[in-house]
Structure 1
Amino acid sequence: MLKSLVFDLMESIADFRRLFECHFIPLVKYAYTITKDKEQSKDIVQNFFADMWKDQKLRHINSFEAFAFHAIKNKSITWLRDNKKFVSVVPDSPVHESDPIHDSHFPKYLLESAILGLPDKCREVFVLSKQDGLTYEEIAETLNVSVKTVEKHISTGLQKLKEKLAPHKVLFLESVNKNL
């Protein structure tokens, strides 16, 4: 029985760590858009995750992304208010204050966290291709792998992103339409 409890705890620690690794950087970037303070943005996100771990709130959340994005926005604005830095740096409020998906930063956050959630090698190849603009041949040469391996990683990455972002398809379509 004790062995089972320890295994469950280890599994939840690993899951929590993966969640942290996938969302930390995008959430810090978002907090920075509000606070304009890099170190404070990191502290806000670290404290958010520490609170999540202590309170075990993850069991009761339907959409971690929406919850985290909204919480970081509120914590960042609170920090501005508490430090009397509440000036024009606060972004315009979304259409529905309680619904973070209407915030223009939310699609970018979702995409970044989904990319960070890819397996290591897959993420590395995907970033080299889609963000750095390298060709498959250049990536294969850089990583000392075959072009077929690069193609497989790109295909896997796109499939995993499609699965992860599928619940938010309408949101991405709306953000594309706004930019047209």
Structure 2
Amino acid sequence: MENDIHQRIKELFLANHSRLTFHARSILGNDEDADDVVGDVFFELWNKRETVNLDHGVNTYLYRAVTNKALNMLRRRQISGQYFEAINEITELRMEFVAEENSGSDSDIERAELARDIKAAIESLPDKCRQAFILSYLHGMKNADIAEIMQVSVRTVDAHIYRGLRMLRERLKYLLSLLLFFNLY
């Protein structure tokens, strides 16, 4: 019995995945979120396998579930986007305040320039990478909490943070050589 249900869900996935992903993409505007939505719908279908009729009306169920999840993601994205903008603004004001308060000596000026370089590097990250990176490293949030805010999986948050760190290392690698040079002398 369980094998039959597993096989039926697998068949439904193979038959509908690309069509449902296209549908989700048309609502959300990007492939990554569309894949997440379709994956979540099939995960929920698996969890509800005992209560959902997998033979009658399942295509309608899948379409509705994808549509609802995609629309919910858009709503949450709008809310989290507003939240992220507010956090970003607060972070920017904090950095400006610290730079102004500590200005004067050469080391303070260098620190302010360094902060500007780091801020510019962070701002150059792709939107989702930047959002995940700022929430993780500047606000100390856990990846599970970030995933909830961004409405993606924890693995996606991990990937965004890893990608962001890799891009920052590449963009700021000159700072490492400067720090090593000045520490040696």
TM class by shorter-chain length?
0.3 to 0.5
Q: TM-score, normalised by structure 1?
A: 0.42
Higher relative contact order, structure no. (Cα contacts within 8 Å, ≥ 6 residues apart)? 1
Q: Which has the larger radius of gyration?
A: 2
Q: TM-score, normalised by structure 2?
A: 0.41
Flag the structure with higher helix content: 2
